[in-house]
Amino acid sequence: MTTRGKVYDGAAKLAIGQVAGQGLSFVRNVIVARYVTPADFGVAALLALSVSLMEMISDLNLSTLLIQSRQGDTPGFQRTLHCVGAIRGVVNSLALFALAWPLSVLLGVPEARWAFQWLSAYPLVKGLTHSDPTRRQRDFRFGPSVLVELGSQLVAVLVAWPLAASLRGYSAFIWIMLIQISVSWLLSHLLAERHYRWAWDRDHVKHVLSFSWPLLLNGVLLFLIQQGDCALLGMAPRLFPGAPYSMADVGLYSIALSLSVVPITAVAKVNSSLLLPGLSQVQSSVVDFNRRYRLGLETLALAGGICGLLFLAAGGTIVVLVYGEKYAGAATVVGWLGAAQAIRLARIAPTTGALAKGDSMNPLIANVVRVLGLVLGVAVVAKGGPLSWIAGAACCGEGAALAIAVLRFQRINSVPFAVSAPGLVWLAGGLALGTVLHVAILARTGAALTLAISAMAALSFAAVAVLSLGGIRREAWLFLLRLLEGRVSSKQAIESGSQSPRLAADQK
C-alpha cells in the first residue's frame, strides 16, 4: 500500500477510534455527573487534577520520541524507554501518596485524603504500560492503539452507572479511573508484538534527556494551562480570603471545560498522530514538508473553527441539555472555553511541525506565553470576578500562544506566512461567526431553534471553507478519485473474473 493509502487507512481507524473513545469518555462523565452534585463533581475534578499534576510535571514525552526518533523501531531503544517510564511511574506514585495530605488541605478537601492515597496507584500502573501499540504508529498502524483506547473507555462506561448509582459521590470517580488505567495496561500487553523488557543504555538515556528536557518544562506549563484555572478556584479561599468561590464553582467550571475538550481532543489526537510521522518522513524535503504542514494546519483550523462556532453559539444550551439544570451556571463559561480549545487545536500544527524538525523548544516557548492567560485569571480571582472572565483570560492566552508558535516555526524553518495564513483566517472566521450568532440572535431564542440555527451555520461554514482552503480541497478531490478508482477497479475485476493490476497492487 502506498504512503497515501496508509495515511487514509490510518486516518479512518483513528477517526473511528478517537470519536468513539471520546464519546465513551463523555458518556461516562455524564452518567456520573447526573448522580452527583456540582460540589462533588468539583472534588472529583481536583482529584483528577492531582494525578495530572504528577503526570505532567514529569512528562518526558516518551511516546512522541518513540515515533519521532530514527532509533524508535529498535528493540534496545524501546526497552530503555520502558525502563525510564517504569522509574517515572514509581516515583510519581510514591510522591502522590506522600503528598496526599498537603494536597487535600491545599485544595480545600481534607476529607478526601484517602482518595488521593488510592489514586497514587494510577501513575504506577501507567508507568508499566507496553509501548508497542505506540511504536506501530510509526508505520501508520493505528489499530492496536485504537483498541487499547476503546477497550479501556468501554469498560469505564460499563462500570460507571453501578458505581455512581451506589456511591453517589466523588469516590465513584476514583474507582472508575483505576479500573480504566488497569484495563489499558492489560490491553497494551495483550496487543504487543514484542515482549515487554527493560534495558539501560546510556546513549539512549542521553537521547531521551536531550529531547525531553524542554518538554519536561513544557509539562509544568501544560498543567498550569489545562488545570490551572480549576486549581486556582479550589485554592482561592486560602489564597485570597473572602474570595466568593465554592467547590460548586469548581464543579461548574470543570463541567464546562470537560464538555469543551471532548470534540477538540478527538480531532487533536487523530491529526497529531498522523501529522508527526507524516512530517517526520519528509523533514528533509522543503516542498513536501510545507505541503503536509499546510494541510495539517488547515484541517485543524477548520475543525477548531467549527467547534468554536458551535460552543460560542449554542454552548450554554448544550450544557443544560446534557448535564441538567443543576449545571446551568456553566453556560456562562463554556463558550469562552470552547473558543480557547479551538485556538489550542490549531496550535498543534506549528508545534508538531517543530517537533518533526527536532525543535522541542517551540511548544515550550508557546506555553510560556499561554501562561500569561493564567496570570490574568489570578488577577480576576483576586478581585472576585465572574467565572466567565477567568475563561476569557484563558482564551486570550491561547490566542497569544498560537501567534508565537506560528511565527517561531516560520522563522526557524523558513516557512512562508502564505502557507499558514488561509487556515488561521478561517479559524478566526468561525469564532467570529459564532460570537455574532449568539449576541445577535441566539441569546434570545429557545433551545431547539438555537441548536438548529447553530448546526446549519456550522455546516455552511464547513462547506465554504473546504472549497476555499487549497490544501484540504486538493486532498478531498484525491480522496474522492481514489474511492471512484477503487469502485471502477472492483467492478472490472468482477466482470472479468480477475483483479486489476492497480487493485492487486493496492491490496499488497
Q: Which tens digit of pLDDT belongs to each residue from 240-259?
A: 988 999 999 999 999 999 99
Residue 151 has pLDDT above 90, yes or no: yes
Residue 499 has pLDDT above 70, yes or no: no
Q: At a CB cut-off of 8 Å and minimum separation 6, what does 139 contact?
A: 6
Q: Is residue 152 part of a domain?
A: yes
* Shared-domain flag, residues 158 and 222: no
Give residue-wise pLDDT tens across range 405-428: 999 999 998 889 989 999 999 999
Residue 12 has pLDDT above 70, yes or no: no
Placement of cell 510521522 in the chain: 277
Q: How far apart are CA 184 and CA 187, in angstroms?
A: 5
Q: Is residue 505 part of a domain?
A: no
pLDDT for the residue numbered 506: 41
Closest CA to 394 of 334, 317, 304: 334
Domain that holds residue 314: 211-445
* Shared-domain flag, residues 193 and 216: no
* Shared-domain flag, residues 53 and 112: yes
* Shared-domain flag, residues 150 and 242: no
Q: Is residue 477 part of a domain?
A: no
Residue 302 contacts residue 462 (beta carbons within 8 Å) = yes
Q: Chain-wide mean pLDDT for the chain?
A: 86
Q: Is residue 460 part of a domain?
A: no
Q: What percent of the chain has pLDDT over 90?
A: 53
Burial pattern 19-58, b for ≥16 Cβ within 10 A else e, equals bbbbbbbbbbbbbbbebbbbbbbbbbbbbbbbbbbbbbbb
* Shared-domain flag, residues 195 and 215: no
pLDDT for the residue numbered 435: 93
* Shared-domain flag, residues 183 and 129: yes
* Shared-domain flag, residues 101 and 249: no
Placement of cell 504528577 in the chain: 54
Give residue-wise pLDDT tens across range 197-252: 999 999 999 988 888 877 777 778 888 888 899 989 989 988 898 899 999 999 99
Placement of cell 494510577 in the chain: 122
Between 491 and 439, residue with greater pLDDT:
439
Q: Is residue 232 part of a domain?
A: yes
pLDDT for the residue numbered 508: 41
pLDDT for the residue numbered 486: 56
Q: pLDDT confidence of 5, banded at 50, 70, 90?
A: low
Domain boundary among 430, 445, 460: 445
pTM: 0.79
* Shared-domain flag, residues 269 and 399: yes
pLDDT for the residue numbered 493: 45
Q: pLDDT confidence of 291, banded at 50, 70, 90?
A: confident
Arithmetic mean of pLDDT, 301-316: 94
Q: Is residue 368 part of a domain?
A: yes
Residue 373 contacts residue 396 (beta carbons within 8 Å) = yes
Q: How far apart are CA 79 and CA 130, in angstroms?
A: 10
Residue 355 contacts residue 68 (beta carbons within 8 Å) = yes
Residue 335 has pLDDT above 90, yes or no: yes
* Shared-domain flag, residues 190 and 254: no
Q: How far apart are CA 381 and CA 387, in angstroms?
A: 9
Q: Is residue 234 part of a domain?
A: yes
What dihedral angle (degrees, nearest 10) is formed by the CA atoms of 160, 181, 261, 214?
160
| Total domains, the chain | 2
Closest CA to 315 of 257, 242, 239: 257
DSSP 197: -
* Shared-domain flag, residues 376 and 231: yes
* Shared-domain flag, residues 225 and 278: yes
Placement of cell 478537601 in the chain: 109
* Shared-domain flag, residues 231 and 193: no
pLDDT for the residue numbered 4: 56
Closest CA to 500 of 8, 491, 483: 491
Q: Is residue 482 part of a domain?
A: no
